[in-house]
Structure 1
Amino acid sequence: MGCCDAPGLMPIEEALDKMLSPIKPIQTTLSLPLAEALGYVLAEDVLSPIFVPPFDNSAMDGYALRLTDLEQTRELPLAGKSFAGQPFSGEWPAQTTIRIMTGAKIPEGCDAVVMQENTLVTDAGIQITQEHIQQNNNIRPTGDDIKQGDIVLNQGARLTPRDIPMIASLGISHVSVVRKPKVAFFSTGDELKTLGEPLAEGQIYDSNRYGIKPLIEAFGCEAIDLGIIPDCPETLKLTFGKAQSLADVVVTSGGVSVGEADYTKDILEELGQIGFWKLAIKPGKPFAFGELDNAWFCGLPGNPVSAILTMYVLVQPMLAKLAGHSAWTAPESIPAVTKSAFKKGPGRTDYQRGIYTIEEGKFVVETTGNQSSGAFRSMSLANCFVVIEKDRGSVEVGETVQIQLFNSTLY
């Protein structure tokens, strides 16, 4: 008897373990120009080839000093200038100062920079009005930010808009990254119509693909949209064959429930094997995971909220592991006090849609209203999931629940 035929529903934690344990990260690597590497996962550590900054430089617009010169006078003639990219050169006479700008190289012998606000320009030169000036005042030393040979990013990190300019500051033009996982996806169902087409009686627009594609891309994968596939076993079988020839993972929405026209499960058993089917999660119980001949498979429920939720909670960590994104972590759970009641029955972990705010330094949360798995407005209004434990019942106002703030993939 397979797990799909066993009584009861599989807990989320067990399902995640079954999904993640057989996944091996993609081994194919690419050397990409830095400008094209955003969103890719690093295949190796990034080491700094230089010191940053590469020379001692000024943290302020002001005047470069030798503190010993101030022992005899507080008024110093100007001997020259040091600007960014145009350092002072030549001999620096005793008891003089050098005009210096932020980021400019510190002249040899300088041991402090005084801000221009702490000076006065006189006929004789620059009068230093600051009383106590410490050694190395307003000087950023060589390697203050990054030292040569430092690991600035670890293998397994996914490159963000914050990482790219940092790597650029090191003069690194190319990075070694893991090939992005390819994910082919399609919706199933005779009731689905493409946007812009008129609806016949009993038909609805296919919204799931418009949520699945941006999530796949936000997870750092390449999305391959195969469209809407009707409830026809022969067509579905051909589509599965095409999908697994194009991609590392095949994702479907709809067709994994128990209806007479839900053929996906039968085709999967013919083309591969099912790891599990039906989870103790709400919404999203009819979620399937398995393996085709040449690709992994994730079958999402057809209801829009269920499809997005299971992509976020279950498929996201699987794709992260496949991409070698070892730095990925699940969204953190935060305790919050309820401002509205949440209806629930024991038996499944419930991900309800909520709106959190912070009041007097504490997280509070209220429902978005209709929690039906077909009511997608609840997702559009929400900024967090209210995660109510499997064995817990309804929650009243004033009780504490765990919330998960939406991470960047849902914003």
Structure 2
Amino acid sequence: MIPVEEARERILRALSPTAEEVVPLPAAWGRVLARPVVARLRQPPQDVSAMDGYAVRAADAVAGARLRVVGTAPAGHPFAGRIGPGEAVRLFTGAFVPAGADAVVIQEDTTAEGEDSVLIREPARPGRHVRRAGLDFATGETLLEPGRRLTARDVGLAAAANHPWLTVHRQPRIGILATGDEIFLPGEPLPTGGIVSSNSHALSAVVRAAGGDPLLLPIAPDDTHAIAAAAMAARHCDLLLTTGGASVGDHDLIQAALGPHGFALDFWKIAMRPGKPLIWGRLGDTPVLGLPGNPVSTMVCAVLFLLPALARLAGLPAGPPPLDIALAGTDLAANDRRLDHLRARTGRDASGRLVATPFPTQDSSMMATLARAEALIVRPAHAPAVPAGAPIEVILLERLGI
């Protein structure tokens, strides 16, 4: 058995980001930027008014002064002339500040006297209520760096920088193959001995949450030819996930099925709980990650290995899931030689500190317990017993988006 950290590093070393593609701006949300976004203009393009009011020369706009209104400039309709001594131009928010003006007096500090005169009740200051040209960004400035998942704010910034298209990484295409004579789709009639397939649907959701494009393959029975045929059909994918058939029983057939078709095994068996029987290798050019059949083992392996792999394929920084510190909600026994991940509820103590309490039963088949869990308590190999209230490391599942 190899350590979790070594297994993850070997997986990540074998993967590269997907190719670039150009998408229209409305389709860019959630995609991973592959090329920098550089401003094609400055923003604002000229000095603009931050408020409704009057563009003035600050030297003229003293309290009690009456200025001659020589024009009106709504946003998008700049005043064509220049403000001279004793003059003002009626402005609205976002309008260009006319040449000759160096301040804006907001309308609440003025009194209009007809259409061509305004009384200044509060003095102006140079630059007051004026957004200077280039205040937000300058032409040629790099606004967004590659390797970030684009948020709604990023999309808005790219639009403001005059980009109708963005270059992003193609969404990783992930084939998902569930195996086993006993597996049936949700809603199908279940024969005696049959169980509903949950792993492939959970993994599909993980892939979508990470920005990938899942391809659910038909369930393959415990037959090497059927498994091989399904796997070969997914060789165009960026990664093939299998679930089930990764252990040591007579019906654990992933390696036996793919071996004759050029499958090259990198490693098998991880020093962790749950999820020891994990396969990593390559079927031709297609990386293959073989996950255990137990549902909880599958999802824990997805947290530790699949999510980092998806990040690498998507062009994001990839590494272990983030760890947080919590207090143990109960006494924890000493651990054995395998890194353990205990499903746990979380809460806060009277001081507001995070507390994680493991469920009393940690069987790797219990999906209901996993669905109720808010964290995985990480227990290193050979960790000593921990009393209630002691600090422990946890993986908060909500932070992972799954």
**TM-score (structure 2 length as normaliser):** 0.89
CA displacement at 1:248 relative to structure 2:
2.2
**Equivalence map 1:216-255=2 (5 Å):** 216-244=207-235, 246-255=236-245
1:274 maps to 265
Equivalent residues of 1:255, 1:262 under 8 A apart: yes
**Equivalence map 1:3-402=2 (5 Å):** 9-26=1-18, 28-71=19-62, 73-117=64-108, 119-121=109-111, 123=113, 126-130=118-122, 134-244=125-235, 246-270=236-260, 271-325=262-316, 327-328=317-318, 330-342=320-332, 345-357=335-347, 360=351, 362-367=353-358, 370-402=361-393
Distance 1:61 1:366 in 2: 57
Distance 2:112 2:138 in 1: 41
Distance 1:151 1:197, change over 3 A: same
Distance 1:19 1:72, change over 3 A: closer
CA displacement at 1:37 relative to structure 2:
3.0
Q: Per-residue CA shift, 1:64-88, capped at 9, x if unaligned?
A: 3321013474454544333222233
Q: Per-residue CA shift, 1:175-204, capped at 9, x if unaligned?
A: 223333221111111111111112222221
Q: Per-residue CA shift, 1:200-244, capped at 9, x if unaligned?
A: 222211111111112122223221111211111221122222222
Corresponding residue SS for 1:152: strand
Distance 2:192 2:315 in 1: 46
Distance 1:385 1:134 in 2: 58
Equivalent residues of 2:32, 2:148 under 8 A apart: yes
Q: Per-residue CA shift, 1:143-164, capped at 9, x if unaligned?
A: 2222111111222333333322
Distance 1:104 1:277, change over 3 A: same
Corresponding residue SS for 2:280: strand
Between the two proteins, the alignment pairs up a number of residues equal to 398
- Answer with 69-78 or 347-356: which moved more: 69-78
Letter of the aligned partner of 2:283 in structure 1? Answer: L
CA displacement at 1:104 relative to structure 2:
2.2
Distance 1:335 1:400, change over 3 A: same
Q: Per-residue CA shift, 1:354-407, capped at 9, x if unaligned?
A: 344456453333335543222222332233332222221443321101223336
Q: Per-residue CA shift, 1:29-50, capped at 9, x if unaligned?
A: 3222222333333332221111
Distance 1:351 1:406 in 2: 12
CA displacement at 1:279 relative to structure 2:
0.9
CA displacement at 1:127 relative to structure 2:
4.5
Distance 1:66 1:292, change over 3 A: same
Corresponding residue SS for 1:163: helix
Letter of the aligned partner of 2:86 in structure 1? Answer: Q
**TM-score (structure 1 length as normaliser):** 0.87
Equivalent residues of 2:82, 2:99 under 8 A apart: no
Distance 1:395 1:100, change over 3 A: farther
Corresponding residue SS for 1:177: strand
Identical positions, percent: 32
Q: Per-residue CA shift, 1:338-362, capped at 9, x if unaligned?
A: 3344456232222223344456453
Distance 1:226 1:64, change over 3 A: same
Equivalent residues of 1:279, 1:285 under 8 A apart: yes
Distance 1:369 1:120 in 2: 71
Aligned-CA RMSD value: 2.6
Letter of the aligned partner of 1:24 in structure 2? Answer: S
CA displacement at 1:409 relative to structure 2:
5.0
Distance 1:329 1:147 in 2: 35
Q: Per-residue CA shift, 1:311-348, capped at 9, x if unaligned?
A: 222122223223333x4564432222233444562322
Distance 2:398 2:318 in 1: 11
Unaligned 5+ runs, structure 2: none
